[in-house]
Chains A and B, each alone.
Chain A
Amino acid sequence: MSLENKVLGLLNEALIVYRDSPRATSWLRNQLVRFGEPVRIAVAGSTRIGKSTVVNALLGEEFTPGRGFTWYRDGVRARATAFTPSGPQEVPVVRRDGRAHVEMGMWDQVDRVIVDWPTRALRDATIIDTPPTATSDQVYREADAVLYLMRHLQDVDLKYLQAAHDNPIARSSPINTVVVLAKADEIGAGRIDALSSTKQIARRYRREARVQPLCQNVVAVAGLIAVAARTMRPEEFTALAALAALPRAELEDHLLSADRFVGGDFPVVMDPSVRQALLERYGIFGVRLTATLIRQGFDTQVKLVTQLVQRSGLGELRDSIGQYFTERREVLKARSALLALDVVLRAEPKPAARKIVMDLERIVASAHDVRELRLLAALQCGRTRLPGALETEASRIVGGLGTAVQARLGLEYEADETEQRYLVADLLARWREQAANPVLDQDQRRAATVVVRSCEGMLSGLG
């Protein structure tokens, strides 16, 4: 039975056991509903770390940030619901000056808003922008997965992430967090190589002993650049191109500081307000980078946008979200449901629930999907290494390229079931050998065991 079904079964059993308690019943019903929804991904981190900007980058839309929790979910038309003290209220979403606003009106003190927004980015995920006052607990309860934004690892960051794993179930499946080094351009001090420098730092954190057990991946993202690129306006491109046309040394002199860029005696006729707007949208680094890229030949808006999106780290962030979150919807949902169930079992313990407690433990202890995810992250971050071609193969089998059998086998054509079964059997035999290979160390053999288990899973799925 799949993890999903096991957990669903357990939730339903609990509904029966707790049918006398209205509180537990409504809690469990909510969990059942949540189980069927897209993955909820919260964007968290300290004040002004760039949360709303990263959310906008993912949406491809410049939303004016709100005050409290803002949920963005897929919908047929743009609309928003404010959760006011006197019940839900529909509020309008409007576009003005190329930006999207939720017109809160008299409800601007409300601490929860749900925005329906038709965009492909929300097809598989609901994205939650969080207020700086939200605690680790609140955020992790609300969401199935978290993007945690930070600059350099500080004690407060560690505390936040550790608090999220301060529960036996959460600890045994630390698969729902991706750390983001936000404002990558600032970490790289605005130098032209800032983004690649920050990517290198992200790589180092992936291997750091304190960070590893708390997240699946660490990626560097320059949210500001990503948003600006995804929402670039034609007149902006014209202005940027005009800058790039200036003699290099002369432009450089006026890009030495933000003050200089908007200052007087500028070498080309360009209204200060235009420069001010560029500075706000792209930052001084963004202006430096676009000028350089245009000179290097990315001289149409389309080419420039593609380059910027790629360099901003948004691509990598989306890949991580796909690989660890949306592709793994079932296991993340199951995890959230188990955590929620655990709350009921603790809050209202009763003898009749003993079997559920034991089943819960068994699922937590044996959930293979969780192990797959951890192994995948370990292989991709380089903390587990396997000799030669085994490494890519292992990462593929545990679902690195997708969780369908076709993807796990790395097939580029439609193979029929018989052929697939034949291929899996072959893999299974080879990996059983690896699992007992004395040349490998304990960690590597354990990794091989997980791969074996994935092969067995495929085989039984093929019937």
Chain B
Amino acid sequence: MAAPWLDVLDETIGACTTHNRPDLAERLREKRARQLDPKLRVLVIGEAKQGKSQLVNALVNAPVCAVGDDITTTVPTFVQHAETPSAALVRNPVARRAITDNPTERVPVALDQLAKEVSAGYSGEVVRAEVGIPRALLTSGLVLIDTPGVGDLRSAHTASTFAALMQADAVLLVSDATSELTATELELLKQVITNCPNVTVVLTKTDICPQWRRVLETNQAQLARAGVSAKVFAVSSALRLRAAQTGDKVLNAESGFPDLLACVQRDIVSAADQLARRVVAVSAASAIQQLVAPLKQELTVQNTKRTEDTIGALHEAQRRVDELRRRSARWQTVLADEMADLVSDIEFDLRDRTRKILREVDKTFDEADPAKGWDSFEQWLEDNLTEAGAKNFAWLLDRSEWVAEKVAKSFPVYREDLLPGSIFPEDVLERISAIERPNIEKFTVSQKLFTGLRGSYGGVLMFGLVTSLAGMPLINVVSIGAGALFGGKSIKDEGDARLKRRQAAAKNAAQRHVDDFFIKFSKDCRDAARHVQRSLRNHFSTLAEELQETLLESARSARRAVQDDASKRERRTIEVRHDLDKLVELYKRVQVLGGSQVALGISA
């Protein structure tokens, strides 16, 4: 059965074609395609080993995700509907190097091998796993996304979880019943909610926890105290899976899954349908308004008897087209100027931040001996650069949003869909995430081998960025200076030339590394800004073209009205009235759909 919004949308597209507006029809068709493929992403998130993967398996009654006592899930796994079961690994062999166009490849694997492939063969190249299985639950377009655990901040696993969070429609936060929600889990929950308000908490493993009811109550109380209105469901995946094996209805009821599934259906699937309707309603309404304007114009002109009035209206239409052209030039200038300012400000900010870090480094190595505490120093440097990068990038995104608003203000008319749904092209983050791990050359100081920054730098950086986007204060600002890491005064410094050489070498290494970071990171920011600029320009140009087309059509109909003879005019008037009535009718249905209160303004 087609959704009600689909009928309305298709009729609106038909009307656009009838009224000679292929451009509007095209835009609505794009919207239609996007809504028809309603990937409803439900992210399953939580700390390690809470039973996330097993929960997904139990929801679809199939062992699609790897489950284990030790850390198992390494990449997000997307589980969605398919007529025949299938699985694939999505790999990005160059993810660690190239910043631009990194093509991913899909490698099909046997479904029963997937779990093993993901947990065993993680080489850093696999970016996600995909599973298709035939399940009624998933036919509505639901995609369940199993994720690696959050809470191990240094790991690249966490980074990919947060990247997935950016695209989630709903979140299931998983915490097992062996203990109450921890402070970190609560913090996580609060931050997730700012990003995706549709959150449900799932308490797992009730089968092995005699006190799960007490934990459930405590958690609910904790949520209430924190002002979080999420529902909490207690389940046992183990019981559910066993019930499925033996066809045991009673056990399935004991597992708690029937309630959880009902909630998913009601609060996630149906709620998403509401959202789809609203999106469709806004676009359709905007298209109809544009169809109506020329017709109204024509009617007005035909109603006026005197030719000079008619000609006056024609001039008026012409004038407005010119005005639009003139003001188009204006918004384009605003966009170009603002983005140029933005790029230079961002770069200045980054330079300022890295300078401060370098100053601290210099101060430290004026006194301290790099041979002691170098490991912590590396960590310190890494943390500080990550922090600087995160702040800087977050600022870039904020400013971009502001620029979009400013451009919208200088746009000739107001429309509800003036601001793009997302300022940021989808791949803006992927680009940044690909930042290469910096290469501090190995260098020797007093026989001690100092290796470069350890760990997956890209992962850390990515994490920093994404969390600060979500407003996550999870990365601690390193407030103590690097100097404190070197133990303070009681250890006597050797005051000889060797120490001086070591200090100079350390300063140099740090300087090189920070410079390197600056160059790479500022280039990425520039690229990202360019990317944002391009997508904003496309968005506003499309809108401008549509507007112009609407105005031109008004002018054309005015001209037609002047030229036509009386009887023809009469017939035309009836036609136009008829068309208008039909559009008004359609518009009313659109309003019902979205519950929106936008007046069409044709009662006159």
Instruction: Give me the interface of A with B, judged by CB distance under 8 Å.
Output: 46-49, 151-156, 167-168, 183, 186-190, 194, 197-198, 200-201, 204, 256-260, 262, 279-280, 283-285, 342, 345-346, 349, 357-358, 360-361
A262–B206 alpha-carbon span in the complex (Å): 14
Q: Evaluate contact between A257 and B152: CB separation under 8 angstroms.
A: no
| Closest Cβ neighbor of B47 among chain A residues | A154
> Residue B251 at the A interface, CB < 8 A?
yes
Contact call A198/B152, Cβ cutoff below 8 A: no
User: For the complex, is B182 an interface residue (Cβ under 8 Å from A)?
Assistant: yes
A152 to B69, CA, bound (A): 10
- Cβ contact within 8 Å between A190 and B208: yes
14 more A-B residue pairs beyond the given contacts A259-B207, A357-B490, with a C-beta to C-beta distance below 8 A = A48-B179, A48-B180, A49-B179, A154-B184, A155-B152, A155-B184, A156-B151, A168-B491, A186-B178, A257-B254, A260-B254, A345-B490, A349-B490, A360-B490
Which residues 192-242 of B have a CB within 8 angstroms of A?
A: 205-210, 212, 236, 238-239, 242
The answer to the question of B21 belonging to the interface, with a C-beta cut-off of 8 Å to chain A, is: no
Please give, as numbers and ranges, the residues of chain B lying within 8 Å of A153 by CB-CB distance: 152
Shortest Cβ distance from residue A190 to the other chain B in the assembled complex, whole angstroms: 4
User: B254 near A198 (CB under 8 angstroms)?
Assistant: no
| Shortest Cβ gap from A321 to chain B (Å) | 25
B153 proximal to A (CB < 8 A): yes
Flag B231-263 by CB within 8 Å of A: 1 or 0 each: 000001011001000000001001000000000
Mask, B149-164, CB within 8 Å of A = 1, is 1011110000000000
Q: Is the CB of A152 within 8 A of B207?
A: no
- A contact face: mostly helix, strand, loop, or mixed: helix
B48-A154 in contact (CB<8A): yes
27 A-B pairs with CB atoms under 8 Å apart are A152-B48, A152-B71, A154-B48, A154-B151, A154-B152, A155-B184, A168-B372, A168-B487, A183-B178, A189-B69, A189-B205, A194-B69, A197-B70, A198-B69, A201-B70, A204-B70, A256-B242, A259-B207, A259-B254, A279-B210, A283-B208, A284-B208, A342-B490, A346-B489, A349-B490, A357-B490, A360-B490
Taking the closest CB of chain B, its distance from the CB of A347, in whole angstroms, is 10
Contacts of B495 in A (CB 8 A): none
Interface core residue of A48, A151, A155, A357 (most chain B CB under 10 Å): A155
The residue that A283 contacts in the complex, of B179, B210, B491, with Cβ under 8 A, is B210
Taking a contact as CB atoms under 8 Å apart, the answer to whether A258 and B208 are in contact is: yes
User: With an 8 A cutoff between CB atoms, is B568 at the interface?
Assistant: no
Question: Bound complex: CA of A155 vs CA of B178, how far in Å?
Answer: 19
**B492 adjacent to A358 (CB under 8 Å):** yes
Say whether A357 contacts B210, CB under 8 Å: no
- Complex CA distance for A283 and B212, rounded to whole angstroms: 13
Shortest distance from the beta carbon of B434 to any chain A beta carbon, whole Å = 24
What is the minimal beta-carbon distance from A424 to any residue of chain B, in angstroms? 32
Once A201-B70, A257-B254, A358-B492 are accepted as A-B contacts, the answer to whether A151 and B49 lie under 8 Å apart by CB is yes
Residue of A nearest to B209 (CB): A258
Chain A residues lying within 8 Å of B121, measured Cβ to Cβ, are none
Question: In the bound complex, do residue B207 and residue A285 qualify as a contact, i.e. CB atoms below 8 Å apart?
Answer: no
A349 close to B489 (CB less than 8 A): yes
Q: Are B71 and A189 in contact (CB under 8 A)?
A: no
CB-CB under 8 A from B421, the residues of chain A are none
Q: What string of 1s and 0s marks CB contacts (under 8 Å) between B358-384 and chain A?
A: 000000000000001100000000000
CB-based contact A197/B69 at 8 Å: yes
CA distance A154 to B238 in the complex (A): 25
State the CA gap A46–B152 with chains docked (Å): 16
6 closest pairs, A vs B, by CB?
Answer: A257-B207, A190-B208, A258-B210, A168-B487, A197-B69, A201-B70
Q: In whole angstroms, what is the CA distance A438 to B594 when docked?
A: 80
Contact A201 B69, beta carbon cutoff 8 Å: yes
- Closest chain A residue to B158, Cβ basis: A155
Q: How large is the interface on B (under 10, 10 to 19, 20 to 34, 35 or more residues)?
A: 35 or more
Query: A155 and B151 in contact (CB under 8 A), knowing A257-B239, A258-B209?
Result: yes
Asked if A357 contacts B208 (CB within 8 A), the reply is no
User: Which of chain B's residues have a CB closer than 8 A to the CB of A256?
Assistant: 207, 239, 242, 251
- Known A-B contacts A256-B239, A256-B251; the reply to A357 vs B492 at CB < 8 A is yes
Whether A46 lies near B210 (C-beta < 8 A) is no
Known: A154-B184, A189-B238, A257-B236. A167 touches B487 (CB 8 A): yes
Cβ A284 vs Cβ B489 within 8 A: no
Closest to B476 in A: A159
Residues from chain A with a CB closer than 8 A to the CB of B210 are 258, 262, 279-280, 283-284
Closest B residue to A48 by beta carbon equals B179
Would you call A190 and B151 a contact (CB within 8 A)?
no
Is B4 interfacial (CB-CB < 8 Å)?
A: no
- Check if A361 sits within 8 Å of B152, measured CB to CB: no
Given A189-B69, A189-B238, A200-B70, A155 contacting B487 (CB threshold 8 A): no
In the complex, A152 Cα to B152 Cα: how many Å?
10
Closest chain-A Cβ to B383's Cβ sits at a distance in Å of: 12
- Determine the residue in chain A with the shortest Cβ distance to B491: A168
Contact B206 A257 (CB under 8 A): yes
Most chain B beta carbons < 10 A, residue from A190, A198, A280: A190
Is B488's CB within 8 Å of the partner chain A? yes
Minimal Cβ-Cβ distance residue in A for B71: A152
| With A46-B182, A168-B372, A186-B208 as contacts: A152 and B49 at CB distance below 8 Å | yes
Chain B residues with Cβ below 8 Å from A154 are 47-48, 151-152, 184
- Determine the distance from Cα of A358 to Cα of B494 in the docked complex, in whole angstroms: 12
Are B184 and A156 in contact, CB atoms less than 8 angstroms apart? Answer: yes
CB contact between A258 and one of B47, B49, B207, B488 (< 8 Å): that residue: B207
Can you name the residue of chain A whose Cβ is closest to the Cβ of B155?
A: A155
Closest to A190 in B: B208
CB distance from A145 to the nearest CB of B (A): 23
| Closest CB in chain B relative to A254 CB, distance in Å | 12
Instruction: A168 to B369: give the CA distance in the assembly, Å.
Output: 13
Given A155-B153, A155-B154, the answer on whether A346 and B209 have CB atoms closer than 8 Å is no
Which A residues lie within 8 Å of B47 (CB)?
Answer: 154
Contact A285/B179 with A187-B49, A187-B69, A204-B70 known, Cβ cut-off 8 Å: no
- Give min CB distance, A290 to chain B, whole Å: 15
Given the complex of chains A and B, what is the CA–CA distance between A194 and B238 in angstroms? 14
**Which residues in A have their C-beta under 8 angstroms from that of B154?**
155
In this complex, which of B47, B69, B70, B71 has the most chain A Cβ atoms within 10 angstroms of its Cβ?
B69
Q: Which residues of A contact B372 (CB under 8 A)?
A: 168
Cα A155 to Cα B492 with chains together (Å) = 33
Query: Contacts of A279 on B, CB cut-off 8 Å?
Result: 210
- Name the residue of chain B whose CB is nearest to the CB of A210: B154
| Residue numbers in B under 8 Å from A349 (CB-CB) | 489-490
In the complex, A164→B412 CA distance in Å? Answer: 63
Q: Which residues from A are CB-within-8-Å of B153?
A: 155
A48 to B177, CA, bound (A): 12
Query: Which residues from chain B contact A358 at a C-beta distance below 8 Å?
Result: 492
Q: How far is the CB of A212 from chain B (nearest CB, A)?
A: 13
Contact with A along B74-114 (1 / 0, CB 8 A): 00000000000000000000000000000000000000000
Residues from chain A with Cβ under 8 Å of B239 in the complex: 256-257
Residues of B within 8 A of A346 (CB): 488-490
A242 to chain B, nearest CB (A): 20
**B453-487: which residues lie under 8 A (CB-CB) from chain A?**
487
Residues of A contacting B492 with CB < 8 Å?
357-358, 361
Residues of the B chain whose Cβ atoms lie less than 8 Å from the Cβ of A46: 182
Chain B: CB-nearest residue to A342: B490
